[in-house]
């Protein structure tokens, strides 16, 4: 057989190479793949009208349902038709216009506070929410990660994949998170009087459409129901599952003991993640009875009420995690039994500060500081504490335990989850039945019912709420 007929001539190979290079991928992708990628024409959706909950001004009543007019989509922008979004507790103040601790001392200035002279977020018209799930309806010409028609999670945590933190394996700290202040936002729509409309964190969620850039979007290729997806892809479930199963922060081994402090939707996702990771003992801690009962249904082996245990809480966890022996040469965890019990191998702290006083059982400390300290103290020597919540103020810890107790503290966004790596995996956990989303989404409302559902979230009369649009 001649080399000419088989196509293996030098000229033929060069010609093939030139075709691949012309396709724009330097031969790394097949021509059909590159052709498909390059067919993403520029978006033509402009001036579409859509309904959005827009927040502006101060105090109660700052969030109202408006019809707004979309601006053109370009560059790396992605437009997603919202199908479900979680009503995150961290947004209660911004949506409802309530102030935590009114009249009390001002919170300490955060390192993340905007620089002096910045415009005030409250003066801007902003669609609140930070993420959700939906279907891509338009993309800018530079978008590669998703295509029109893709089912996506608009993630509360972005992942650019090329910043220093993403490259170091900490995409939960991606540089895009450092640019979500009032001065960083660009308008994506206008109100009928011409007022520009922005979105919380460049993503929003409390609207029929979310307009973002591709760094915030994760394609999820699934046919699961929208409520389950809205839950598992929410910032809180991603953080709970991230802290326990992503191995981004700590690695929970099969058989380990895990304590979860705070059983809101984040903590209840962490309880499930600990079960999925194979923990043999999962101690759920929450002041609200229905949340403790729910924790036991979704995977906890024990439940404790911090209002009953009070200062004895850490000691109770040490007792529960007591090993069958304290004998020094026989695998005892607390040789010589100088203090009873062992402590949890892993503690996930997920309590956080109250935005408003809850209408169900209040916890021991509205600032969230006490549960964070207790989390540290109930951890085994040599164990791991993963903090996920938002507290008000500064924490103090026993210096010796902090210094030589061998407790490793892991802090991070999204429980250390890496969005493109982990969110599709969390969706598989939903599909396989490993993750129970339905039990967590205790309120489901269409878009017009959003404010009422947010009241339930704020006062903790529901575990969490999903808005479908
Ligand atoms: Zn959130
Ligand atoms: Zn990055």
The DSSP string of 412-426 is -GGGG--HHHHHHHH
Q: How many residues does the chain have?
A: 469
User: Token pair for residue 412?
Assistant: 């991070």
Instruction: Give the residue among 349, 380, 417 at the shortest CA–CA distance from 256.
Output: 380
CA separation for the pair 267, 239 (Å, rounded): 9
E strand or H helix that includes residue 54: strand 49-55
Cα–ligand 2 centroid distance for 100 (angstroms): 32
Q: Which residues surround ligand 2, an ion (CB under 5 A)?
A: 160, 163, 166, 174-175
Rounded Cα–Cα distance for residues 144 and 164 (Å): 21
* pLDDT value at residue 265: 98
* Residue 147 token pair: 């295509």
Token pair 């019912």 is found at 449
- Tokens 């949506």 — which residue? 95
Beta pairing, strands 209-213 & 441-446: unpaired
CA 412 – ligand 1 centroid, Å = 13
Which ligand minimizes its atom distance to the CA of 89? 1
Tell me the ligand closest to 390's alpha carbon. Answer: 1
Which ligand places an atom closest to the C-alpha of 233? 1
Report in angstroms the alpha-carbon separations of 328 from 65, 261, 401: 65, 30, 21
- What's the pLDDT score for residue 107? 54
pTM of the model: 0.89
Task: Please state whether beta strands 151-154 and 217-219 pair in parallel, antiparallel, or not at all (unpaired).
Answer: antiparallel
Q: Which ligand is nearest to the CA of 240?
A: 1
416: CA distance to ligand 2 center in Å? Answer: 13
What's the token pair of residue 310?
A: 């009070």
* Cα–Cα distance, 417 to 173 (Å, whole number): 10
Q: How far is 280 from 299, CA to CA, in rounded Å?
A: 10
Ligand nearest to C-alpha 88: 1
In angstroms, what is the span from residue 172 Cα to ligand 2's centroid?
Answer: 8
Ligand 2 centroid to Cα of residue 334, in Å, is 43
DSSP 181: S
Instruction: List, for residues 384-398, the tens digit of each pLDDT value.
Output: 999 999 999 999 999
Separation of CA 174 and ligand 2 centre (Å) = 4
Taking the centre of ligand 1 as the mean of its atom positions, its distance from the CA of residue 72, in whole angstroms, is 28
Give residue 232's Cα distance to chain centre.
9
Residues with pLDDT less than 70, the chain: 1-46, 101-114, 335-340
Please name every residue paired with 211 in a beta bridge, in sequence order, or none if there are none: 79
Say if CB 375 and CB 286 are below 8 A apart: no
What separation in Å is there between the alpha carbon of 141 and the centre of ligand 2? 21
Cα 272 to ligand 1 centroid, rounded to whole Å: 18
- E strand or H helix that includes residue 265: helix 265-277
Query: 114 CA to middle of ligand 2, Å?
Result: 21
CA of 419 to the centre of ligand 2 (A): 11
Q: In the structure encoding, which two tokens stand for residue 369, read together?
A: 């500081």
CA of 86 to the centre of ligand 1 (A): 8
Pairing of strands 49-55, 125-127: antiparallel
- Ligand 1 centre to CA of 239 (Å) is 9
157 CA to middle of ligand 1, Å?
Answer: 9
Residue indicated by tokens 């330097």: 26
Question: How far does the centroid of ligand 2 lie from the alpha carbon of residue 194, in Å?
Answer: 34
Q: Count CA atoms closer than 13 A to 396's CA, side-chain side.
A: 1
CA 209 – ligand 1 centroid, Å: 18
Q: Among 329, 310, 320, 304, which Cα is nearest to 380's?
A: 320
Report the separation in Å between the CA atom of 432 and the middle of ligand 1, taken as the mean of its atom positions: 25
Spacing, Cα 216 to ligand 2 middle (Å): 10
Query: Percent of the chain at pLDDT above 70?
Result: 86
Q: What backbone phi and psi angles, to 5 degrees, belong to 29?
A: -115, 155
């Amino acid at each position: 057989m001649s080399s000419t007929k088989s196509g293996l001539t030098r000229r033929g190979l060069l010609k093939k190479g030139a075709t691949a290079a012309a396709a724009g991928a330097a031969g790394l992708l097949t021509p059909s793949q590159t052709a498909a990628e390059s067919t993403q024409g520029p978006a033509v959706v402009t001036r579409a009208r859509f309904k959005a909950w827009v927040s502006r001004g101060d105090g109660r009543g700052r969030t109202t349902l408006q019809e707004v007019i979309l601006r053109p989509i370009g560059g790396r922008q992605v437009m997603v038709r919202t199908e479900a979004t979680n009503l995150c507790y961290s947004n209660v103040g911004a949506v409802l216009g309530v102030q935590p601790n009114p009249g009390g001392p001002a919170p300490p200035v955060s390192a993340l506070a905007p620089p002096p002279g910045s415009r005030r977020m409250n003066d801007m018209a902003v669609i609140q929410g930070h993420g959700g799930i939906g279907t891509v309806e338009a993309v800018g010409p530079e978008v590669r990660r998703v295509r029109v028609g893709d089912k996506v999670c608009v993630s509360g945590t972005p992942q650019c994949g090329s910043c220093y933190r993403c490259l170091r394996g900490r995409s939960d700290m991606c540089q895009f998170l450092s640019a979500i202040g009032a001065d960083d936002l660009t308008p994506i729509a206008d109100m009928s009087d011409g007022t520009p409309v922005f979105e919380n964190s460049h993503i929003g969620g409390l609207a029929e459409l979310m307009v973002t850039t591709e760094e915030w979007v994760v394609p999820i290729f699934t046919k699961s129901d929208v409520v389950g997806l809205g839950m598992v892809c929410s910032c809180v479930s991603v953080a709970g599952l991230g802290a326990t199963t992503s191995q981004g922060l700590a690695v929970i081994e099969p058989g380990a003991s895990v304590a979860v402090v705070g059983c809101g939707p984040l903590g209840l996702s962490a309880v499930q993640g600990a079960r999925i990771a194979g923990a043999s003992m999962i101690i759920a801690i929450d002041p609200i009875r229905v949340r403790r009962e729910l924790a036991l249904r979704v995977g906890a082996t024990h439940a404790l009420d911090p209002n009953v245990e009070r200062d004895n809480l850490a000691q109770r966890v040490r007792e529960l995690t007591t090993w069958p022996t304290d004998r020094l040469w026989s695998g005892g965890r607390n040789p010589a039994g100088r203090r009873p019990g062992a402590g949890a191998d892993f503690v996930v702290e997920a309590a956080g500060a109250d935005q408003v006083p809850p209408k169900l059982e209040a916890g021991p400390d509205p600032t969230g500081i006490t549960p964070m300290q207790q989390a540290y103290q109930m951890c085994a020597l040599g164990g791991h504490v993963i903090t996920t919540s938002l507290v008000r103020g500064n924490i103090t810890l026993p210096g010796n335990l902090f210094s030589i107790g061998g407790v490793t503290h892991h802090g991070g966004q999204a429980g250390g989850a890496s969005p493109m790596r982990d969110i599709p995996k969390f969706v598989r956990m939903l599909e396989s039945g490993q993750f129970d989303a339905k039990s967590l989404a205790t309120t489901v409302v269409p878009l017009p019912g959003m404010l009422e559902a947010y009241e339930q979230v704020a006062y903790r009369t529901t575990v969490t709420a999903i808005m479908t649009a």
